[in-house]
Amino acid sequence: MADVFLSYKREDQQIAREVVADLEAEGFSVFFDVRIEVGDSWDATIERELIAAKAVVVLWSANSRGSQWVRREAREAEGRLAPAFISDCKPPLEFSDLQGANLINRRLADRQHPEWRRLCDRVSSLIGRASVSHRASEFEIDRKALFQSQLFLSEIALDPTASWLAVTVGETSEDISVWDLRTGCSKVNLNNGLVPHCVSFTRDGSRLLAGYATPDLLPQPSEDCVVVVWDIGRKQQILTLRGHTYAVVDASTNERESLILTASWDGTARLWLAQSGDEYAVLSGHTAPVRTARFSPDEAYVVTASSDATVLLWHIPSRKQVALLEHKWDVRSAVFSPDGHSIATASRDGVRIWNAASRTLAFSLPHEGAKRAFFSRTGQRLVTASEHDVRIWDVSSRRQVHPSPISVEKGGSISLSANGRKIGIIASNGAEVWTLSQPLA
């Protein structure tokens, strides 16, 4: 059971995720209802965790103050309540005499904000421990092998809560294996007779996007080069997207989950309507396989990276290419920063950070052979990976946070959890999960 129960309204889920990540960064164990396992009774789990929690953090907002569920949970938490305000509102009358921490103007991951410290002090007093004002400055990584496999593992993905991990298993087999990181056990195997080439979770972690191809990977039109949306709990395909003619190697959704974005070795990226599966746009401009495609945070743009050594920027409403960025070698990864101001690209010739507005090179980071790049949730850190090592950078100073590159043997796919606390990586001996001593801000 967790020490802290978080009560909030569903409309405030994104802010709730950020609060959970920061509470866990303080060392508190937190119950967050999106982590309830498939098959568990929702009501029974909520009741059990609420009763067992030593502290109940309730997030008051214009949405939650009128919620009967949030009020009921706050009422049940009498004597254990730690209120916090995330929007300008008055608490329900019955809770108006309780002072709450004002988090309205607190920046994401600002754990030194005085109101955040007030909240942590209250939680610490409730659970009976000394308040943690800061974490050790030394950056440490706990590396654990999730499982060792003689089979070929090609792709890996962590869900947003870092509770689940998915890997594709076998060079010519058809399995996607989903693991529960809390128990270290395999929970689900997804198989449809095709070979998966990419996996990613949806925002709530209940569904999985997978790109496929035929085992022989012949560069010819094939109806088997599809994208499948899986319902993990039911082990069922709920949507199949057809249109690509070669292996689909990247798939993701926008923040609202209204669009699905895919990239393929057929040289195109495609946009699909998430509800119907209808094709919305074909982004054709590269002369070689497209390796990755990513949305901008405002969902107005898409960036694509290709083996033709270019990165293209696309305007979604007009479906037009608006910029071309170049490397010397094939570009394997491109991603926007969380604020949308920068684009990070990874290539054999290193990592480059571009100004997204002016479409000009801001600076480069030395990481020869880089295959992947990920921004942390605030954009202050950047994780880059090659076949030989992983490097964690402070973006503003352009220096590595970890004193030296983290060695890996034949490193492949890598995934960073949304809370910046875990990294999943495929190496020569199987899949590893790294837990960081402090989350990437």
CATH number, domain of 365, equals: 2.130.10.10
Residues 193-202 as b or e (16 or more Cβ within 10 Å = b): ebbbbbbbbb
Q: Are residues 334 and 281 in the same domain?
A: yes
Domain final residue, candidates 102, 127, 152: 127
Any domain includes 430: yes
**CATH for 19:** 3.40.50.10140
Residues 97 and 168 both lie in one domain:
no
Residues 210, 163: one domain?
Answer: yes
All residue ranges of the chain with pLDDT < 50 are 132-138, 172, 217-218
Beta carbons of 101 and 114 less than 8 angstroms apart: no
Q: Look at the chain and count its residues.
A: 441
Structure tokens at 86: 């995330």
User: Residue 349: what pLDDT?
Assistant: 87
Residues 385 and 422 in one domain: yes
Residue 297 contacts residue 343 (beta carbons within 8 Å)? no
Query: 390, 396 in Cβ contact below 8 A?
Result: no
Residue 137: the pLDDT is 36
d(CA 400, CA 191): 40
How do residues 153-199 score in pLDDT, each as one tens digit?
Answer: 778 999 988 888 898 875 545 689 898 888 878 788 898 888 888 99
With respect to residue 35, please indicate whether it lies within any of the assigned structural domains: yes
Angstrom distance (rounded) from CA 253 to CA 205: 12
**Does residue 321 sit in the same domain as residue 432?**
yes
Same domain (yes/no): 99, 152: no
- 133 lies in a domain? no
Q: What is residue 134's predicted lDDT score, i.e. its pLDDT?
A: 38
CB 261 within 8 A of CB 253: yes
Of 81, 103, 127, the last residue of a domain is 127
Q: Which helix (H) or strand (E) holds 127?
A: helix 114-127
| 155 and 285, same domain (yes or no) | yes
Residue 271: inside a domain = yes
Q: What pLDDT score does 347 carry?
A: 94
Residue ending a domain, among 76, 97, 127, is 127
Same domain, 107 and 174: no
Cα–Cα distance list, 10 to 17, 53, 113 (Å): 11, 20, 25
Q: Are residues 122 and 145 located together in one domain of the fold? A: no
3-state SS of 68-118 is HHHHHHHHHCCCCEEEEECCCCCCCHHHCCCCCEECCCCCCCCCCCHHHHH
The whole domain housing 149 covers 141-436
Residue 31 lies in a domain: yes
CA dist., res. 263 & res. 268, Å (int): 6
Tally of structural domains, the chain? 2
On whether both 257 and 171 belong to a single domain, the answer is yes
Of the CA atoms within 13 Å of residue 104, those in its CB half-sphere come to 10
Q: Are residues 253 and 351 in the same domain?
A: yes
pLDDT in the model for residue 111:
77
Q: How far apart are the first and last CA of the chain?
A: 27
Residue 397 in domain: yes
Is residue 329 one of the residues assigned to a domain?
A: yes
Q: Are 365 and 265 found together in one domain?
A: yes
Q: Which of 305, 441, 301 is nearest to 370 (CA)?
A: 305
Residue 284 inside a domain? The answer is yes
What is the distance between the alpha carbons of residues 365 and 346, in angstroms, rounded to a whole number?
10
